[in-house]
Structure 1
Amino acid sequence: MKLTIGAADLESDILLREALTAYRTYKEADERGVPLEEVRKLGLLFESLIQGVIDSHFLVAGLPPSTIH
């Protein structure tokens, strides 16, 4: 199934919302003094999600993603 630009935009929007939620959770945990290991895990989750957003934008533009697994 070919991904249309509209569908890709929707998918990217969902990923972006998840990434922003993860960022807020990460920042709030850091400010509340949550143990460092948990804050790092939340930071890694945010980084992973935002990388997914970036890669989806590259794919929609017809470019290779920034990372290939």
Structure 2
Amino acid sequence: MFLISNRGEAGIRKIEQQHKDQLHSIQRDTMRILRAIMHFRDHMQTCLEKENLVDQAQALTELGSITKDKVSLLFEP
């Protein structure tokens, strides 16, 4: 009986670790995507400024940045 209990607990720990690993991978990928979006936005802003579309460039500036604090809200339990 004791052996079966340990196997069950080990199985649960293994699944918990897999879930933690998956969550970490999702968080890492999300940060990469958000950085890419911010990079794209910065390039768009530069292009708009070069084309003398100041109002549109200003609108992009006013969006603000996606900070780690804002992103951490996505992953709160």
Fold shared by both chains (TM-score > 0.5)? yes
Aligned to 2:61: 43
Higher helix content, 1 or 2: 2
SS of the aligned residue for 2:50 comes to helix
Letter in structure 2 aligned against 1:10:
D
User: CA–CA distance in 2 between the matches of 1:8 and 1:43?
Assistant: 25
Larger radius of gyration: 2
Superposition TM-score, scaled by structure 2 size: 0.54
Aligned to 2:68: 54
Shift of 1:32: 1.5
Letter in structure 1 aligned against 2:68:
I
What number of residue pairs does the alignment pair up? 54
Shift of 1:37: 1.9
Flag structure 1 segments of 5+ consecutive residues without an equivalent.
60-69
Q: Which of 33, 45, 48 matches 1:26?
A: 45
Alignment identity in percent?
12
SS of the aligned residue for 1:33 comes to coil
Superposition TM-score, scaled by structure 1 size: 0.60
